Structure 1
């Protein structure tokens, strides 16, 4: 196929990738003939013919681009001169090879040599198939004045290869101002649209300038970057800054998401200080993406969110986001009159690393980082890691890092991690870490698998709040000076927790207003290991608890190595139990605790500290019967499956039982041998007619008072022990022993 002119040929090449590759990747000796007989060299031949000049120019430009971002204005001016020279060469190439050489030499030796085009092309030209080339082969045919987006192009370097950088200075009109006072949104948008048409590229935000923009739209494979914070995009009040798939853009199928979008090295500045709060006005409005990265940014003064990772901007519209990362980004809300630093409405795979959040969030908005689907069944929050981050002077009513998933969302939040973070001077009414899943955790429900690791907090409202979560851990954290207690499960079953581990955490002066360091509500399989609570509470009776079990039910609660202390008298009770809380004491454990002589109302059958009470009874081996007791004391404790107990009974005359005296046990007995009998210990009796010393023997096959196993009383007789039977008169029995429970 032939064309009437080079311009027509170029248009054809742009629509035909095979022909474009043929022209761009032609050999170093290839030439092409147009319909009017003009000989046009391939890009390779042009570069080969002028290799020395191009190398000198490109090397100089690349050095300047990496070391002197501030020369962008001069480069842009010289770029136009260079482009005109190159155009002259292109139009006279058919009549004079010498003129072509002179024109190329002029382009190569100009001060900037079309820096915004050639330098970028030399770095990352794709030649329409994503393959890097050694030199920026971006010259195709004669001048094309405009792309389909309407942006004016250089007259010679007219078709920019995918990924070639464009400095925004090239898009601004003559006589532009750099102080953010004139709206250049339409000019800047042409650059994004232009790069969209050519498959992607780089938008360069110029150094030492403030460009006023609003409601910009970026696309996949586009990298917006600057070289330092003096490169500023100032966002108009009431406008999104930069959007990806705004409105209902994108689709519900993540395979069609916009991919490979980057932001780096510049400042995106909102105007909350003068325009005030506006909940839905976000600086970065991002929807339906895969592989989105931001680094070395300043995101400041947002009216709504600094970064919004949404499920579109239209209600009940399904969109999903995959693989987000933010590294070394400063989120500065300026005056705590915004929504969130980052909102994750839908996310699967996110890393927020080495960032800082300061002065974020209005008093009635969630917090610095909020993971909160809109309530649609398809919402996803999973695989999010927040690490090495600093939070300073933030507010809100949910948390610095919060997960809040409505019950209407099908999938529970999963694999959310906060580690190696610090929170200072929190001024809101939420937690450092809040996880609320709004679903009752059971043995078969989905694991949340959250982690809070090595988080330090100083001065705030609440250390953490965990509700509706199954499986998670809080480890190595240190919280000091918080007015409200930490919460582990709350007062309804859907706010309960299950399979949560707390290890080596320290709460100091927590609950200084509310009165408790840690409140526990509905909780199953909560395990605390080597946790410390120091001076938690107010020092006033009723408001001075290290740990308080509030309204709810709990089972399998374990404390190992717990330490509760009150160096200044703020804590009066180490572990409190409210009347509305029900323990399953037979499943609980308290071992190696140091409560520093503070009172405790915890109930744990397995304990080396607690001695539990029970009411032993006497029954007959033949007829159980019943009796009246003037003394009825039983005490026991358990370590693992070993039970240690002591009994003292005074039985009034007239017990109705018959046969061998049997005394009930505190816990069921395991089988102890072939005859199921083992001696417990010596027994003191009174009121029995016996001829020798007495002993108590465990019979695990017997049953007394509904408990498997019983202690039977024997006395010494000639050559053997004889059974002591229930007398008609009053009698006393006292003994102690140990045995293995089931």
Structure 2
């Protein structure tokens, strides 16, 4: 049995090792400023024809508009970046798409690296693009010069499973750094299945807060964001540095972990926004649960977490915390929470310090089953921060929390 397993491992190893293609063999040149899109596309197409392999990208700077990975035949590809830079190139002028003036040439989510399974309304990943690894690449766009663009991202993916981005950076993006979405072009396909997305050891810098999100998860069954940093991201009116926002209640959104991440100078609604959708008759799979945010640091944010629920929020009383926010520090913030018909949320062992006392949040928080326990509020105006709809007060629990103001400590329960 051991021999069979060893032989199988060697076969897989040799398969991928032998299928290593260097983009320079297809005409890419990381030492000039010419457009390398065609060379990258030819390399990707050849790997797809081989059934997968490794795209070797020698150290350099490459200019790319759109490399398209359309269909599940583009599965099993590893991008070995070697510290290279991908500079996003925009061709032509902005055009009006829906209500957005955009460089995009598709109507939902364009990208420099563009993955699309080209299927619709999937409830599993059998037709998804599988086993993608993007390692040690640095994506750069010029948001300062070109400005905000709702539809133009650096990586855009629709219908991916086992999708990993690691040891990479995303700088100056016009829309998102990474968009895991429900469709790149809604006129053609919508709702392919995204599953098991990992983003680790990555840096996101929006430069001037004139972007959309660092990462968007519009339809994703399981994700991990770990050891990442986010700064200078998200303009007014946009959600967050990380936005978890399913577009329909039949789209599975669950089991997302955000761990050991830093958020600095984040605009928009919050550092992290999570939408909780009501139950679906079309898709009976349990969704909108299993979110954990832990061991994170937040500095200069409006609020660390916003939860946007739904009209059925009062009906959720199953004793299961859908969102757990724990073991984190918030230093420099405007309001503790932004809950809009939220439900079953736990704050545990959080430290809030240095509230912006000139800011006043006028919207009442509305929720069902919200607990704050074992947390510290230092130099924080508690009364101002808990503007709560009277119907929600009975569903709020405080357990063993402390307040420190002007060096004086007190414990409060209610």
- In structure 1, the partner of 2:100 is none
* Match of residue 290 from structure 2: 415
Greater RCO (Cα-Cα under 8 Å, separation 6 or more): 2
Instruction: Flag the 1:134–1:305 CA change in 2: closer, same or farther, 3 A.
Output: closer
Q: How does 1:145-544 map to 2 (within 5 A)?
A: 164-172=19-27, 176=29, 178-179=31-32, 181-207=33-59, 209-218=60-69, 219-228=74-83, 231-237=84-90, 238=103, 240-245=111-116, 248-249=118-119, 252-254=122-124, 255-315=126-186, 317-374=190-247, 376-396=248-268, 398-405=269-276, 413-426=288-301, 430-438=302-310, 439-442=312-315, 444=317, 447-483=320-356, 490=364, 495-498=366-369, 500-511=370-381, 516-521=384-389, 522-535=392-405
Deviation at 1:347?
1.0
> Within 1, Cα distance between the matches of 2:316 and 2:113?
45
Deviates more, 1:266-275 or 1:197-206: 266-275
Q: CA deviation at 1:465?
A: 2.6
Is the CA contact (8 Å cut-off) linking 1:220 and 1:260 kept in structure 2? yes
Tell whether the 8 Å contact from 2:403 to 2:411 is kept in structure 1 after alignment.
no
Q: Which runs of 5+ in 1 are unaligned?
A: 1-128, 137-159, 536-565, 572-592, 596-601, 605-742
1:377 is paired with a residue of what secondary structure? coil
* CA gap 1:400/1:443 in 2 versus in 1, 3 angstroms: closer
Distance 1:322 1:523, change over 3 A: farther
Deviation, structure 1 residue 442: 2.8
User: Residues 162 and 200 of structure 1 are in contact (CA less than 8 Å); yes or no, is this contact kept in structure 2?
Assistant: no
List aligned pairs for 1:516-595, cutoff 5 A.
516-521=384-389, 522-535=392-405, 567=407
Larger radius of gyration: 1
Secondary structure of 1:425 counterpart: strand
CA deviation vs aligned residue, 1:344-382 (integer Å, no higher than 9, x gap): 1011111101111111111221110001122x2312221
Give the Cα separation in 1 of the matches to 2:232 and 2:52. 35
- Root mean square deviation, CA, Å: 3.1
Aligned partners of 2:63, 2:345: CA distance in 1, in Å?
46
Using the size of structure 1 for normalisation, the TM-score is 0.47
> Cα deviations across residues 216-274 of structure 1 (Å, max 9, x unaligned)?
1232100112223xx1111113362101117x456624222111011011211122122
User: What secondary structure, in the 3-state scheme, does the structure 1 residue paired with 2:237 have?
Assistant: coil
Residues 66-125 of structure 1, C-alpha deviations (whole Å, 9 max, x = no match):
xxxxxxxxxxxxxxxxxxxxxxxxxxxxxxxxxxxxxxxxxxxxxxxxxxxxxxxxxxxx
Q: Secondary structure at the match of 2:10?
A: coil
Per-residue CA distance 1:24-49 (angstroms, 9 max, x = gap): xxxxxxxxxxxxxxxxxxxxxxxxxx
Cα contact 1:413–1:437 (8 A) shared by 2: no
- Cα offset, 1:448, TM superposition: 4.7
Q: In structure 2, what is the Cα distance between the partners aligned to 1:523 and 1:162?
A: 60
Alignment deviations for residues 400-426 of structure 1 (CA, whole Å, 9 cap, x no partner)? 111134669777621111100001122
Paired residues of 1:249 and 1:312 also in contact (CA < 8 A): no
State the alpha-carbon separation in 1 of the partners of residues 319 and 12 from structure 2.
Answer: 52
Q: CA 1:161–1:361 in structure 2 vs 1: closer, same or farther (change >3 Å)?
A: closer
Larger relative strand fraction: 2
TM-score for both structures, normalised by structure 2: 0.81
- Distance (Å, rounded) in 2 between the aligned partners of 1:365 and 1:334: 16
Q: CA deviation at 1:467?
A: 4.0
Tell me, in whole angstroms, the C-alpha distance in 1 between the residues paired with 2:198 and 2:177. Answer: 14
For residues 457-509 of structure 1, give each alpha carbon's deviation from its aligned partner in whole angstroms, at most 9, with x where no partner exists.
1112222233434333211101112237999x946xxx3212x3321111222
| Distance of aligned partners of 1:409 and 1:275 in 2 relative to their CA distance in 1, 3 Å threshold | farther
Structure 1 residues 321 and 443, CA gap change in structure 2 (3 angstroms): closer
